[in-house]
Amino acid sequence: MIMNKQIIYAVALCLVTGIVGCTDILDKNEPGNINPEDIWSNEESANLYINSLYGIRPDGGFGNNAGNSDESDGNSAFIYGELTADDVGTYSQSYYAGIRDINIAIKEAKRGDMQPEARERVLGQAHFLRAWEYWGLLKRYGGVPHIKKPVNPFSDELSFPREATSQVINEIVADLDTARSYLPASWPENELGRVTRGAAAALKGRILLYWASPQFNPDGDQQRWQRAYTANKEAKQLLDQDGYGLYPNFGRIFLDEGNQSYIFGELFSNTTGEQIVHGWESSLRPPAVNGSGSVTPTWELVKAFPTANGLSIDDPAATYDSTKFYKNRDPRFYQTIAFNAMNWTFSDYADDRRQYQYYVDGSTVEPSGGTDTGFYTRKASNPDIPTSQIGNTGTDWIEMRYAEVLLNLAEAANATERRQEAYNQITAIRQRAGINPGFDGLYGLEANMNREQMVDAIMRERQIEFAFENKRYWDLRRRNLFKEKLNGTRRHGLRINFTGSDHDQFISARDTMSLDYMYDNYFEGEMVSVDQEQAINYPQPKYNFFAIPTSVLQRSPEVEQTMGWQNGTFDPLQ
């Protein structure tokens, strides 16, 4: 939003707490000239309160949970099965305080004196945000207390019993249906970032897909899959009607603000007076250009990308050279993975070098603290951001984009034996990516796949399309893929060693050399494990639903611990 955040939060604090002296803040000559008496009688002032709710707890973020999966390296209590009951602290007083703020908005907007259409727009946003907050709890814990009235968790004992997961799912879906009925198809340009009816429909589709997935649905109830299919089909139809679609330039999806793939997310800006920023650009850039290089792709992710014909690199028909792994790959590979000696320029890098070497032997040009896997992340990198700003950058976070709706639909269509419809969604994404269609128009997909083969194809497509978008970890969890495919394995990197005889001569001439010449004459790859002490061990189904923190149990005796954890009695599958 193009708003003054200090005013937003001051207004929110006054309305939520009733602090004495807030009248002075509200009476100041600021946007809307807000007065406490008529805050809910004016859409502009009501939206100031709503604005403060948008940023309560964004669930995602660039690179979030990458180290908890096979996407990136990282030593994690999650991936090694070492979590304690208190390591996932989302269920908390502060989280429910955020829900209370949303409940205040719903209660007050209903009895305020706004015009009906204005009231609906305000309520639509609030219902969406309440659904989003409860979804954050439910996907971690299963059923939780679903409170729909303002309750102050800091002064009242938050000791409501946990509700059945199925009941909370229905409450969330009801909020999203209400939001969809109230929200507009789009907002004016100066209101970019507010949720739309398409966002409500898309989130409903995502949630019902989870509800049908093995995490929540180990017995494979087909009614849940049909419900997920219907929701995602409706979401796609509504989004198409409202002008959403696949953005043709994959590399600029996050950089071109407000493009047609953006369904909902979080807006950032580092312009004067805004400074709502994050440090993703620093996290992905190598130390050679003053970044931290802390988010590094694994060799497993590198191998997941197909060839330019869409074929798996393991397919005998694929044109793949394991030594020159960078050749002839899915175009998305080059927008996601930064590899040794590739062209990756930054606008103000002092030496104006085209190419960066990350090889790690004794002749390395990589400063200390560089990549552990031989690769860096290029996803959502903006080369025009100056070095001085890489720790405070304004690239927008897209929590949900149009491609996810297509793949959600594909997964539900496949589960309900609509195989061709599943093919259609994946081929649309691969066509946009620039993969060659092939003689059969399947863009490298295997023909006549059965249900299980199609699940594998969809999961691989999600792994590629959404790399470093905080999707992979949750997909592995909801599909029980840690247990089925990853446990007992180790993540790897590809260390690139320099094998030439004259390092200085190479440095002076490298910008005139082709990649192939360098890899033939100067580089040699060596696969190394980044899980040196132990293999992946993510306990499923135990970790499908986390423990309620001890502090919550101590002050809220009616809240049961999750089954599978110490003294757990609450069944999250009900």
Cα gap 59→11, rounded to integer Å:
24
User: What separation in angstroms does the CA of 84 have from each of 494, 546, 549, 552?
Assistant: 33, 9, 9, 14
Q: What amino acid is encoded at 312 in this protein?
A: S
Q: What percent of the chain has pLDDT over 90?
A: 69
Lowest mean pLDDT among 4-13, 62-71, 487-496, 525-534: 4-13
Please state the rounded mean pLDDT for residues 369-382: 88
pLDDT tier, 157 (very low <50, low <70, confident <90, very high otherwise):
low
Cα gap 527→402, rounded to integer Å:
36
Per DSSP, the three-state class of 363 is coil
Which two three-digit tokens encode residue 62? 């660039």
Nearest to 333 by CA among 422, 463, 246, 225: 463
Nearest to 247 by CA among 433, 468, 394: 433
> Which ranges of 151-288 would DSSP assign to H, the alpha helix?
165-182, 197-212, 222-241, 280-284
pLDDT tier, 326 (very low <50, low <70, confident <90, very high otherwise):
very high
pLDDT tier, 270 (very low <50, low <70, confident <90, very high otherwise):
confident
pLDDT at residue 274 in the model: 65
Cα gap 125→194, rounded to integer Å:
8
Nearest to 71 by CA among 368, 379, 285, 495: 379
pLDDT at residue 18 in the model: 44
pLDDT at residue 369 in the model: 66
Residue with the larger pLDDT of the pair 158 and 444: 444
Cα gap 109→337, rounded to integer Å:
47
Per DSSP, the three-state class of 275 is coil
Lowest mean pLDDT among 22-26, 217-221, 524-528: 22-26
How many residues in the chain? 574
Which two three-digit tokens encode residue 107? 């209660």
Cα gap 213→116, rounded to integer Å:
39
Please state the rounded mean pLDDT for residues 440-454: 97
Q: What percent of the chain has pLDDT over 70?
A: 88
Residue/partner pairs of 87-90 with CB below 8 Å, 24 or more apart: 88/140, 88/546, 88/547, 88/549, 89/549, 90/136, 90/137, 90/140, 90/141
pLDDT at residue 200 in the model: 98
Q: Is the pLDDT of residue 312 over 60?
A: yes
Residue 398, phi then psi, degrees to nearest 5: -105, 110
pLDDT tier, 27 (very low <50, low <70, confident <90, very high otherwise):
very low
Residue/partner pairs of 21-29 with CB below 8 Å, 24 or more apart: none
Average pLDDT, the chain: 88
Cα gap 144→134, rounded to integer Å:
8
Please state the rounded mean pLDDT for residues 199-213: 98
Torsion of CA 354, 358, 359, 365, to 10 degrees: 70
pLDDT tier, 8 (very low <50, low <70, confident <90, very high otherwise):
very low
**pLDDT per residue over 105-141, tens digit each?**
999 999 988 999 999 999 999 999 999 999 999 999 9
Cα gap 558→574, rounded to integer Å:
18
Q: In the 8-state DSSP scheme, what is residue 546? A: P
pLDDT at residue 410 in the model: 98
Q: Is the pLDDT of residue 216 over 90?
A: yes
pLDDT at residue 82 in the model: 95
Residue 355, phi then psi, degrees to nearest 5: -125, 145
**pLDDT per residue over 490-544, tens digit each?**
999 998 888 888 888 888 888 788 999 999 998 888 899 999 889 999 999 999 9
Q: pTM, whole model, 2 decimals?
A: 0.92
Lowest mean pLDDT among 8-22, 130-144, 556-570: 8-22
pLDDT at residue 351 in the model: 56
Q: Are 393 and 385 in contact (CB under 8 A)?
A: yes
Q: Is the pLDDT of residue 477 over 70?
A: yes
pLDDT at residue 6 in the model: 39
pLDDT at residue 509 in the model: 85
Residue 20 burial (CB count, 10 A): 8
Cα gap 332→434, rounded to integer Å:
8
pLDDT at residue 361 in the model: 53
Residue with the larger pLDDT of the pair 286 and 469: 469
Q: Is the pLDDT of residue 461 over 80?
A: yes
pLDDT at residue 268 in the model: 86
